[in-house]
Amino acid sequence: MPQNSRPLLSVVAAVYNGELFLAKFFACLAAQNIDNMEVIMVNDGSTDGSMAIIEAWRSKFPGMKIIEQENQGVSIARNTGLAVATGQYLSFPDIDDDFKPGMYRHLLDLALKNNLDVVTCNGNYVYESNKKPTRPIFPQDKLQSTDVLSGPQWLKRALDSRKFLHVTWLNLYRHDFIREHGFTFEPGLRHQDIPWTTEILLAAERVQYTDEQYYDYYIHSASVSHKPDTDDTLIRSARHYMKILEMLDAINQRYPDAVKNIPACNWQIAKEGLGILHTFNNMKDPHKKKMIIQEFFDRGIWRLIWKNARGFRLRWRLGRRYLKLKKATRVPG
């Protein structure tokens, strides 16, 4: 498709039982005031009234693409939308969040002016019923607006802040860049934003960040990621993070020249690994704990974490947990 006939932006949104949020989501889209915007709604097997709401908004967004599929999770839904997108830039907002008027216009202006592969902004954590005060996602004393950087330069700066959150929804991506590298979302993986963002930034040549807070990430009781855990959900979470660590290790090996200048690429593997150990600590059933910790060792995840740990303090934190882990694998039965 010729460049001048392509939409400036394709917005790809995965929908699963989103009837409580879709009206606000579409209102946010309409407030962007971008005429040349392609909206792609992927209904991922919703069983509520989501489709009726999507259809009701169709007339407000000429050419809206609506795709229905069986429930397969957000990654496959995003891949479905990505496969049919035609815009020069891509965005992947979550439908239960709030993005401010002008967000996409401002990010597009930066992206087009500077031929960016990735452009990103700041946002806020907003808590249901104001249970906690709203706060920036990236503290502005840690990460300020930048000029154009290489992806690895921005990744180093972001990870070194120790306050960087791997997310898709604060970013716009140049579509041709995504296509040239064949990037897709990992099916069935929770928190797949971590490997996605890491690899994209290692590959990107031109990235810019603005500390303008355009996006409200809404933390609410209906969110799957904020429901109370059981042993079984903790086991699933541990397996997701084991996969993430394996993916991050493979990514580091694919980009050795960039990674050797970003020690935090190793640090984040060790840091996420500590999160897995914390997950084990929260499990109640000793036999289920024994099973998942044995899997943790058998898959080589402990070795992977230890290999990537840098510095005495981090290795000390890991080492003092090792004996507890081994003890848990010796539970009888």
Q: pLDDT of 70-83, one tens digit each?
A: 999 999 999 999 99
Burial of 291 (0-12, 13-18, 19+ CB in 10 A): middle
Q: Does pLDDT of 2 surpass 60?
A: no
H/E stretch holding 99: strand 98-99
Average pLDDT over residues 287-303: 96
Number of domains in the chain: 2
Q: Are residues 248 and 274 in the same domain?
A: yes
**Mean pLDDT of the residues in the chain:** 94
Boundary residue ending a domain (192, 225, 258): 225
pLDDT at 4 over 70: no
Q: What CATH number does the domain containing 39 carry?
A: 3.90.550.10
251 pLDDT higher than 80: yes
Q: Identity (one letter) of the amino acid at 43?
A: N
What is the extent of the structural domain holding 205? Answer: 3-225
Residues 181 and 232 in one domain: no
Predicted pLDDT at 269: 96
For residues 204 and 306, state if they share a domain. Answer: no
> How confident is residue 86, by pLDDT bands cut at 50, 70 and 90?
very high
Helix, strand, coil percentages (3-state) for the chain, rounded to 5, are: 50, 15, 35
Q: Has residue 101 been placed in a domain?
A: yes
- Distance (Å, whole) CA 89 – CA 62: 18
pLDDT surpasses 90 at 314: no
- Asked whether the predicted pLDDT for residue 159 surpasses 80, the reply is yes
Dig out the tokens for 220 from the structure.
Answer: 């609410």
Boundary-marking domain end, from 225, 249, 268: 225
In a domain, 333, yes or no: no
Same-domain pairing of 121 and 193: yes
128 pLDDT tier (thresholds 50, 70, 90): confident
Q: Are residues 174 and 220 in the same domain?
A: yes
Rounded Cα gap, residues 158 and 156, in angstroms:
5
Last residue of a domain, one of 172, 193, 225: 225
| Mean pLDDT of the 136-153 span | 97
Do 139 and 59 reside in the same domain of the chain?
Answer: yes
Residue 116 inside a domain? The answer is yes
Co-location of 216 and 151 in the same domain: yes
State how far the Cα of 159 lies from the Cα of 206, in Å rounded to an integer: 17
pLDDT confidence of residue 220: 76
Burial (Cβ within 10 Å: 0-12, 13-18, ≥19) of residue 182? exposed
Per-residue confidence (pLDDT) for residue 310, from 0 to 100: 85
Percent of the chain clearing pLDDT 70 (strictly above): 96
Residues 103 and 24 in one domain: yes
